[in-house]
């Protein structure tokens, strides 16, 4: 990349350092899954069923998706820095509430409130688009998501070790401490990057139709939603496939389960290194095709009777690779449709991805039975991957034919 703004670390008169943006996005990813190994102990602590404490996951995702709709326009109106710091402060308060909750009902309320940390995910992308061109944004977002990709790979293991050594509360203490450090980094390093819109908050929300009427925005948003949807379906169905279809032990399943993260890391690395050379549309298309190829080959192997843990989980690296190519580039594309609405676009695009992904994850879990085997999951992943290819193809076609 060339002609990039000069950066000085912990100097908010210059653009924020890449490490600050990675911390802001990574904290959001960590909060989602670091405590998962502690769920059984938490159910015992609160005297409730596992199914009830497990609601802390979908409720968090649901409210995260809803909040992203509001975070973007609010930041376009009030500024990135102010909204980011308020979001981090509210997250710290919600985490204290989780630690002090006397019963499961109050815990779930504060757990839902923790979803405000989605501010870090949404605004780290919007800040990048405030400062860089579309292709440079894709590259920078690639670096951020590449660093962020490491978090869900290691945070459950860290949470398990903390729970074993200190109890389930240790994961929430870790969130509180790391949240405080990220708040300090944002305070010191993140200046204001958005230009004042000069509009009221109601007027800012009133500009959603401007995005919703844009075929280009929908092309990028649906490409991201469908491509990541294949991965979310995998999250909802792969534990069943590993345990019931292949009879894998939990420890072995845990090793295989992380295969897409390897591909995701590589995809983001390729994006970071090549986005300015090839452009976002080309990389999104490559990513969607990689996603579809992984699902297609895996399904074909099952259809001819040779499905195995190695083939199923191994080919999921192509799904992860596709997401690593698609998501940062399509996100940069979404944010470039209306640059003055970068925060709004980031929030709406993130909401589409998270809410749609949660629905696909639930659908995958509902379709799988011992009688069906892995086929419903493989078909669902393949259909969503094909839809993602179609979505980005429409963007490319309109650009070539209509110049839009």
Total-model pTM: 0.74
Per-residue pLDDT reduced to its tens digit, 190-205: 888 777 666 666 776 7
Q: Cα separation of 335 and 342, whole Å?
A: 5
Mean predicted confidence (pLDDT) in 43-62: 82
Instruction: Say how far residue 182 (Cα) sits from the centre of its chain.
Output: 18
Q: Cα separation of 328 and 271, whole Å?
A: 8
- How many Cβ atoms sit within 10 Å of the Cβ of residue 73? 25
164-170 — which CB contacts under 8 Å span 24+ positions? 167/41, 168/35, 168/38, 168/41, 168/42, 168/45, 169/99
Per-residue pLDDT reduced to its tens digit, 208-220: 788 888 899 999 9
Would you say residue 291 has pLDDT above 90? yes
Domains and CATH numbers, the chain: 1-206 (1.20.1250.20), 207-404 (1.20.1250.20)
Q: Cα separation of 323 and 26, whole Å?
A: 17
pLDDT score at 79: 82
Per-residue pLDDT reduced to its tens digit, 107-163: 999 999 999 998 988 888 788 877 777 777 777 777 777 666 677 667 777 787 888
Helix (H) or strand (E) holding 196: none
Per-residue pLDDT reduced to its tens digit, 373-391: 899 999 999 999 999 999 9
Tokens (6 digits) for 166:
């200190």
| Nearest by Cα to 211 from 355, 20, 71, 340 | 340
Q: How confident is the model at residue 1 (pLDDT cuts 50, 70, 90)?
A: very low
Helix (H) or strand (E) holding 37: none
Would you say residue 2 has pLDDT above 60? no
Percentage with pLDDT > 90 across the chain: 34
pLDDT score at 70: 85
pLDDT score at 141: 76
Query: Residue 51 burial by CB count (10 A; 0-12/13-18/19+): exposed, middle or buried?
Result: exposed
| Nearest by Cα to 238 from 272, 261, 205 | 261
């Amino acid at each position: 990349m060339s002609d990039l703004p000069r950066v000085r670390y912990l100097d908010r008169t210059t653009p924020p350092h890449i490490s600050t943006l990675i911390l802001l996005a990574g904290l959001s990813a960590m909060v989602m899954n670091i405590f998962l190994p502690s769920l059984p102990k938490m159910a015992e602590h609160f005297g409730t069923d596992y199914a009830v404490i497990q609601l802390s996951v979908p409720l968090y995702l649901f409210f995260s998706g809803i909040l992203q709709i509001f975070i973007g326009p609010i930041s376009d109106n009030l500024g990135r820095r102010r909204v980011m710091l308020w979001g981090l402060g509210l997250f710290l308060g919600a985490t204290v509430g989780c630690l002090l909750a006397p019963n499961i009902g109050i815990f779930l309320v504060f757990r839902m409130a923790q979803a405000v940390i989605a501010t870090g995910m949404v605004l780290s992308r919007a800040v990048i688009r405030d400062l860089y061109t579309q292709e440079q944004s894709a590259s920078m977002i690639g670096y951020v998501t590449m660093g962020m990709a490491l978090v869900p790979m290691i945070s459950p293991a860290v949470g398990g070790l903390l729970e074993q050594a200190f109890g389930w509360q240790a994961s929430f203490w870790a969130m509180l401490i790391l949240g405080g450090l990220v708040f300090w980094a944002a305070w010191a390093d993140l200046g204001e990057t958005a230009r004042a819109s000069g509009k009221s908050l109601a007027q800012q929300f009133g500009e959603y139709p401007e995005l919703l009427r844009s075929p280009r925005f929908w092309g990028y948003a649906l490409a991201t939603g469908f491509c990541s949807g294949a991965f979310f379906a995998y999250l909802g169905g792969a534990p069943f496939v590993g345990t019931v279809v292949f009879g894998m032990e939990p420890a072995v399943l845990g090793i295989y389960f992380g295969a897409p993260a390897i591909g995701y890391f590589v995809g983001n690395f390729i994006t970071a290194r090549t986005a300015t050379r090839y452009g976002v549309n080309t990389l999104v298309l490559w990513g969607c095709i990689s996603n579809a190829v992984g699902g297609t080959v895996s399904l074909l192997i099952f259809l001819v009777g040779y499905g195995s843990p190695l083939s199923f989980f191994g080919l999921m690296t192509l799904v992860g690779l596709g997401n690593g190519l698609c998501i940062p580039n399509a996100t940069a594309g979404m944010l470039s449709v209306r640059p003055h609405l970068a925060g709004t676009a980031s929030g709406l695009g993130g909401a589409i991805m998270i809410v749609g992904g949660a629905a696909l994850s639930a659908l995958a879990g509902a379709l799988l039975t011992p009688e069906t085997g892995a086929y419903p999951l493989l078909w669902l992943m393949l259909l969503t991957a094909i839809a993602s290819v179609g979505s980005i193809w429409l963007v490319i076609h309109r650009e070539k034919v209509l110049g839009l």
